[in-house]
Amino acid sequence: MTRFARILCVIYGATGLFLAWAAVQSKLAGSVWASFAFTATSIVPLIAYLREAEFTDAKAETRANVERAARVRENGERRAIREAADALQHVCCERWWTSLGTDHDPTCAKQRRAA
Ligand SMILES: [Zn+2]
């Protein structure tokens, strides 16, 4: 949870406590409808707190997914580089390139070995 989110949660808590206190004061003063209204509205900061916690969880999950995707992409790039390096180790002559690795130049050492 970020610092700003924590501050918001503290504000939500203070607002909820104030509304609960106002509900009790209204009840003691005999204003039933005001007491009911304060009680009902004291739920709103609780909902806001829960939404803030849910948002924080969703944000953390998104961050984890992005990091996981970056790791997978990085592993894929490393694998591609490794495969390219492995393929380039077999490069020996011009004909090998143009024949997709099926043939060698007559002067190539590998051609002599095969022949
Ligand atoms: Zn060759």
Report yes or no: 49 and 11 within 8 Å, Cβ to Cβ.
no
Identity of the amino acid at 8: L
Q: Which domain holds residue 102?
A: 3-114
User: Which residues have CB less than 5 Å away from ligand 1 (the ion)?
Assistant: 92-93, 96, 104, 108, 110
Phi then psi for residue 38, to 5 deg, are -65, -40
What's the angle, vertex CA 51, arms to CA 66 and CA 3, rounded to 5?
A: 70
pTM exceeds cut of 0.75: no
- Report residues of the chain scoring pLDDT below 70: 112-115
Q: Which token pair is 17?
A: 């406590």
- Residue 100 zone, left/alpha/beta (φ > 0; ψ -120 to 50; rest): left
Centroid of ligand 1 to alpha carbon of 96 (angstroms): 5
Give me the pLDDT at residue 114, please. 46
Centroid of ligand 1 to alpha carbon of 115 (angstroms): 12
Give the span between the Cα atoms of 32 and 25, in whole angstroms. Answer: 10
Give me the pLDDT at residue 76, please. 93
Give me the pLDDT at residue 95, please. 87
Domain count, the chain: 1
